[in-house]
Amino acid sequence: MSVTLQQIARRSGVAVSTVSAALSPVCKKSISEEKMSEIRNVAKKMGYRPNLSARRLRTGKTFNIGVVIASFLEHHPISTYFDLVSMACSRNGYHAIPLVIERKYSNMPKQLDMLKDHHVDGLLFFDYSRQLYDQYLQLWQDSNSMVFRMLDPLFAKLPFEGVLVDHYNAGKNLIEHVLAQGWNELYFVAETVNDQLWEKGYGRAWRESAGQIQRGDKVLAYGQRTATNRYQVIKEFISSGGVNKGRTAFILDGGDGSSGVYGALAEGGLVVGRDVAVASMNSLPTNEFVHPVMTMLTEPYKDVAESMVDQLLRSIEGDTQKASSAKLFEPQLIPGISTFRAN
C-alpha cells in the first residue's frame, strides 16, 4: 500500500499542507530548511513515492526539462554539465532530457522550431548563438521558460534569462599569462573556424589580443575535436617549419584531444615548456595527467549547472518574488608547467 501525505503528516507532527509544500520541487510555503529536511527524511524512510500521473494532472506540468545541446554528449564540458543538470533536476523532482541538435548553422533554425513539439516544462541551452536570435525570441514569446549558458558579457543585456560564464575576461587572462612568460608567437588551435568560434568570449579575447601577439592572427583549424585531428594539424605545422623555438605557443580552444597535440610535439622533438608552450581555453579531467601539466581555464561547473536549473525552475513555478538575478561566473586560470619556461 502506498504511503500518503496524511501518514507523513502524522509521523512528522505537521499539517498535510506543510508536507505537500516540503515535498514540492519548488517550495512556496515558509518552511525552515531544518523542518523541510526533517519531513523529506521521514517521507524517504516511509518509502513515499509521489504519484507522478496525479501530479501532472493537478499541475499541468510534465516535470521534464529539455537540455538543448548543439553537439554530442560525449564532448566535454557538455557531458559534465548534463550530468550535473540531471542531478540538480532530480533533486527537485524533475527529469533532464537531452535534445541534441546539429552544430551546422544551416540546420539549426529548423531544428529549434521543432523544440515546440517536445513536451517539456522548460529549456536549458548550451550555448547561446547570435545567429539563432530570431528562433530563440519566438520560443520565448510563446511563453517557454528558457535559461541560457552565455560565454561573453556582450550577451548579458539580452531579454533572455541566463548564466554568464565570462570566457572573455578569462581568455584575456590566459593570453596575458602566456605572453608574460615570453611566448609571443601564439597560434590558436581551433575547431573549424566559423561564426560560432568568434561569438564565444575566448574567441573575442583572442581577436582583441592580436596586437600584442606576433603573427597573432594565425589560427590552426582542424575538423572534429579529437586527438587524431589535433595531432595531424600540429604535425603539419611543424613540418611546414612554422615553429619558432622558445617563442611559439599553442592555445587550444578546448581540452578535448590535447594528447594529440602533445604527441605531435614529442614526435617532432619539441619539449613543452622549453621549445614551445601549450595552454587550453577549457579543462578536461584527463588533462590533469598529461606531462608536463598543462595551463588551462576551468569553469565552476557545479555552480553554473545548479544556478541554471534554479533560475529555470523558479521561472516554471512562477516564483517571481524569489527569482534569482543572472549570475556571473569566471573560469579560473590554472597555470601549469606547459607555459612556464624551463631553465
46-50, 170-174, 205-209: segment of lowest average pLDDT? 46-50
**pLDDT higher than 90, residue 277:** yes
Euclidean distance between CA atoms 159 and 268, whole angstroms: 50
The better pLDDT of the pair 161, 50 is held by 161
The better pLDDT of the pair 86, 33 is held by 86
**pLDDT higher than 90, residue 256:** no
99-108, 156-165, 284-293: segment of lowest average pLDDT? 99-108
Average pLDDT, the chain: 82
**pLDDT higher than 90, residue 227:** no
Euclidean distance between CA atoms 171 and 204, whole angstroms: 9
Euclidean distance between CA atoms 98 and 101, whole angstroms: 10
Please give the full DSSP string across 151-167, using - where no structure is assigned.
-SGGGTTSSSEEEEE-H
Amino acid at 276: V
From 1.10.1740.10, 3.40.50.300, 3.40.50.2300, 3.60.20.10, which CATH number describes the 168-298+333-339 domain?
3.40.50.2300
Identify the helix (H) or strand (E) that includes residue 118: none
**Contact by Cβ (8 Å): 66, 122:** yes
Pairing, β 295-298 against β 64-69? unpaired
pLDDT in tens, 4-29: 888 888 888 888 888 877 777 555 56
DSSP label at residue 63: -
103: its cell numbers: 552544430
Q: Work out the average pLDDT over 74-78.
A: 76
63-67, 108-112, 275-279: segment of lowest average pLDDT? 108-112
1-5, 58-62, 90-94, 296-300: segment of lowest average pLDDT? 58-62
For residue 331, is it left (φ>0), alpha (ψ between -120 and 50) or beta?
Answer: beta
b/e string for 245-259 if b means 16 or more Cβ within 10 A? eebbbbbbbbbbbbb
**Contact by Cβ (8 Å): 276, 265:** yes
Identical fold, 63-167+300-331 and 168-298+333-339: yes
* pTM of the entire predicted model: 0.77
Using CA of residue 129, residue 132, residue 137, residue 143, what is the dihedral sign?
A: negative
b/e string for 175-198 if b means 16 or more Cβ within 10 A? bebbbebebbbbbbbbbeeeebbe
- Angle of helix 5-12 relative to helix 33-45, nearest 10 degrees, comes to 120
Helix then strand then coil, in percent of the chain rounded to 5, is: 45, 15, 40
Does a cis peptide bond (omega within 30 degrees of 0) precede residue 319? Answer: no
b/e string for 107-144 if b means 16 or more Cβ within 10 A? ebeebbeebeeeebbbbbbbbbbeebeebbeebbeeeb
**pLDDT higher than 60, residue 258:** yes
Q: Work out the average pLDDT over 214-228.
A: 75
| Extents of the domains making up the chain | 5-50, 63-167+300-331, 168-298+333-339
**pLDDT higher than 70, residue 322:** no
CATH code that applies to domain 63-167+300-331 = 3.40.50.2300
